Amino acid sequence: LKKELAGFSTEIDFVEDNEFPELGKIFVIDSKLKDLYPQKISTIVGNKPIYNLEVSEANKNLKNMQKILDFFLINEITREDTVVAVGGGIVTDMTALAASLYLRGCKLALVPTTLLAMVDAAVGGKTAINFRGYKNNLGSFYPANRIIFNLDFLRNLPATEFENGFIEIKKMALLKNNGLLEMITSEAPLADIIQKAIDTKLEFCRKDLTDRGVRRFLNLGHTFAHVIETASDFKIPHGLAVAKGILLATEYSRALGKISETELENISQLFMEYKLPDFPNLELAKFQNIIIKDKKKGDNVNLVLLKGIYKPFLFTDTNLQNLYNFIYKK
């Protein structure tokens, strides 16, 4: 399957364990995977050089980026060689950034191994590391030449990690009227849901690789989630923070008279099964500080709200006091 993304062409394949093609010259791999899936990793990598990355947000930094670039250099990678990332979003984000920098771009293949990386991080061409305490604030847009999906990687995925991905799928289902929501509510096979979610994400990115327009709808719930995660020192899992964020965005849309009570109830239903966190108790100044410091947004806060299911819109809130009053029911 070939997908075009703003002049980049990405080949997408779904493979079974015995169908892995030869992917590239060197591999950056989540260090946990060789113990969790020894057979599979050995099939994928063969006798090619491996860089084992110990995965954590703290390690998603410039120092490790440099080590990955050293690994490229030592192995004499040229622009025509393919480097391969096998792992979750941290490995795919970092390897993709390194691939975009090295010789101004070498070839890149991704093998996402978490649900979140499959439907989100590995798809759409964003790359990043964390820098000076800010999340994902060094990066580039560099779609992979190839993405290989092997759903058997989800076999040992911890429940929280599964939830992180599935909540992003539910988010996408609310943004586009393409059958994904029905597939989720009717409990269609997971493989079908994943394929549809990938298509949905690609659809937004194809129209807007660099995040200036429709792609921003994918941030539904994420401004609130960012506050929840930051205030909890990132102890609350991303998925649950996003689910809570989507509910708050929907309730705010309702408070502004944009969405009906019935649709609010239907959306709430989607997230009933999760034990959602409370929104943190914050002074206005702290609340403002977290939201405004979110570097990508400038002075105003652009919230994604809903005029209805499948009807996201960008709401520019210039007065955070209103939002604050809404959240804390003042």
Ligand X SMILES: NC(=O)c1ccc[n+]([C@@H]2O[C@H](COP(=O)([O-])OP(=O)(O)OC[C@H]3O[C@@H](n4cnc5c(N)ncnc54)[C@H](O)[C@@H]3O)[C@@H](O)[C@H]2O)c1
Residue with Cβ nearer ligand X (207 or 262)? 207
First-to-last C-alpha distance (Å) of the chain: 52
Mask 87-106, x = binds ligand X (CB under 6 A)?
A: xxxxx-x-------------
3, 25, 107, 126: which one binds ligand X (CB under 6 A): 126
10, 95, 113, 253: which one binds ligand X (CB under 6 A): 113
> Total binding residues for ligand X by CB under 6 A?
26
Q: What are phi and psi of 283, to 5 degrees?
A: -65, 155
Least separation in angstroms between residue 131's CB and ligand X is 13
29, 53, 121, 180: which one binds ligand X (CB under 6 A): 121
- Token pair in block for residue 139: 């990066």
3-class secondary structure, 210: coil
51, 71, 102, 153: which one binds ligand X (CB under 6 A): 153
Least separation in angstroms between residue 184's CB and ligand X is 19
Q: How far apart are CA 311 and CA 253, in angstroms?
A: 11
Helix (H) or strand (E) holding 69: helix 62-74
Q: How far apart are CA 202 and CA 190, in angstroms?
A: 18
Stretch near ligand X under the rule CB under 6 A, chosen from 12-20, 42-50, 117-125, 311-319:
117-125
Residue length, the chain?
330
Whether the Cβ atoms of residue 132 and residue 106 lie closer than 8 Å to each other: no
Least separation in angstroms between residue 89's CB and ligand X is 2
- At how many degrees (to 10) do helices 238-255 and 159-173 cross? 30
Does 200 sit near ligand X (CB under 6 A)? no
Of 72, 11, 19, 8, give the one whose Cα is nearest residue 44. Answer: 19
Whether the Cβ atoms of residue 315 and residue 305 lie closer than 8 Å to each other: yes
Does 114 sit near ligand X (CB under 6 A)? yes
Does 30 sit near ligand X (CB under 6 A)? yes
Residue with Cβ nearer ligand X (37 or 252)? 37
Least separation in angstroms between residue 41's CB and ligand X is 10
24, 124, 143, 221: which one binds ligand X (CB under 6 A): 124
Gyration radius of the chain over CA positions: 20
Q: How far apart are CA 324 and CA 319, in angstroms?
A: 9
117, 198, 220, 227: which one binds ligand X (CB under 6 A): 117
Query: Which residues contact ligand X by CB under 6 A?
Result: 30, 32, 36, 55, 57, 60, 87-91, 93, 113-114, 116-117, 120-121, 124, 126, 136, 153, 156-157, 161, 164
